[in-house]
């Protein structure tokens, strides 16, 4: 892995490491056998680390790695972590803000499928979104997850008719040149395993797309 791993680190303490994962790198080892984030960080930190959250390969942003058994147990409790994403989507969202509830399942082709009604084999998924800005051809959306299902944000936005930029798997018009998609795990808030106070971390936006550059200026 040629990247400077230290540049990914947002926070490092005795309990956990927060990283800004670049798009295109697997969070953990997969069937491609490409260099992955977890293996690289364990070699860098010279210690065993446990993934608390995972991001799809084409997604960038905040990843949490626990350094101790206590931290792993504590942070694995989902109600102790608040995850906020930014998405660049194809227009136009039906409402400026909304809370979405649906039922999702993972298919055999590594793709999620959505049902608007509860059915066997599907799990409830919930998230809220808020429109932040409208560009000429895209919209910038803030998303807060209330559950963590496979490809949840991607399939739920696509169901609205607003697929994530570059996400051809879920209906985007064209792929991004670097195979990334316009989805970024922007902020993480977590209940610290030792002192119990909420800690907040923000992951810098990618610089691989003009829309992200414009978004960074808007969010200042």
Q: What is the mean pLDDT of residues 130-142?
A: 97
Lowest-confidence segment of 3-12, 145-154, 159-168 by average pLDDT: 3-12
Give the pLDDT band of residue 19 (cuts 50, 70, 90). Answer: very high
pTM for this model (two decimals): 0.95
The per-residue pLDDT for 78 is: 61
Beta strands (DSSP E) in 57-172 are: 60-66, 81-89, 97-106, 112-115, 123-134, 139-145
The per-residue pLDDT for 30 is: 85
The per-residue pLDDT for 1 is: 54
Is the pLDDT at 32 greater than 80? The verdict is: yes
> Domain of 151: which CATH number?
3.30.2350.10
Coarse DSSP helix, strand, coil percentages of the chain, rounded to the nearest 5 percent:
20, 35, 45
Q: Are 203 and 184 in contact (CB under 8 A)?
A: yes
How many structural domains does the chain have? 1
Q: What is the C-alpha to C-alpha distance for residues 105 and 115, in angstroms, rounded to an integer? A: 9
- Domain hosting 54: range is 5-218
The per-residue pLDDT for 193 is: 92
Q: Which of 7, 34, 36, 56 is catalytic?
A: 56
The per-residue pLDDT for 174 is: 96
Is the pLDDT at 56 greater than 80? The verdict is: yes
56 is catalytic: yes
Burial class (CB in 10 A: 0-12, 13-18, 19+), 138: buried
Q: Are 165 and 88 in contact (CB under 8 A)?
A: yes
Mean pLDDT score of the chain, rounded to an integer? 94
Q: What is the C-alpha to C-alpha distance for residues 22 and 37, in angstroms, rounded to an integer? A: 9
Terminal-to-terminal C-alpha distance of the chain: 32
């Amino acid at each position: 892995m040629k990247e400077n791993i230290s540049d990914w680190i947002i926070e490092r303490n005795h309990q956990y490491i927060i990283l800004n994962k670049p798009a295109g790198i697997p969070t953990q080892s997969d069937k491609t056998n490409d260099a992955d984030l977890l293996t690289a960080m364990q070699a860098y930190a010279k210690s065993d680390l446990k993934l608390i959250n995972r991001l799809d390969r084409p997604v960038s942003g905040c990843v949490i790695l626990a350094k101790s058994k206590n931290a792993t147990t504590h942070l694995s409790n989902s109600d102790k972590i608040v995850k906020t994403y930014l998405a660049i989507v194809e227009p136009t969202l039906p409402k400026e803000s909304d809370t979405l509830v649906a039922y999702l399942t993972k298919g055999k082709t590594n793709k999620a499928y959505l049902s608007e009604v509860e059915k066997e084999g599907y799990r409830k998924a919930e998230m809220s979104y808020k429109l932040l800005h409208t560009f000429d051809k895209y919209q910038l959306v803030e998303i807060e997850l209330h559950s963590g299902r496979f490809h949840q944000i991607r399939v739920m936005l696509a169901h609205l008719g607003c697929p994530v930029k570059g996400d051809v798997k879920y209906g985007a018009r064209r792929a991004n040149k670097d195979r990334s998609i316009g989805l970024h795990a922007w902020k993480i808030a977590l209940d610290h395993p030792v002192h119990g106070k909420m800690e907040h971390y923000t992951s810098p936006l990618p610089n691989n797309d003009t829309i992200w550059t414009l978004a960074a200026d808007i969010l200042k």
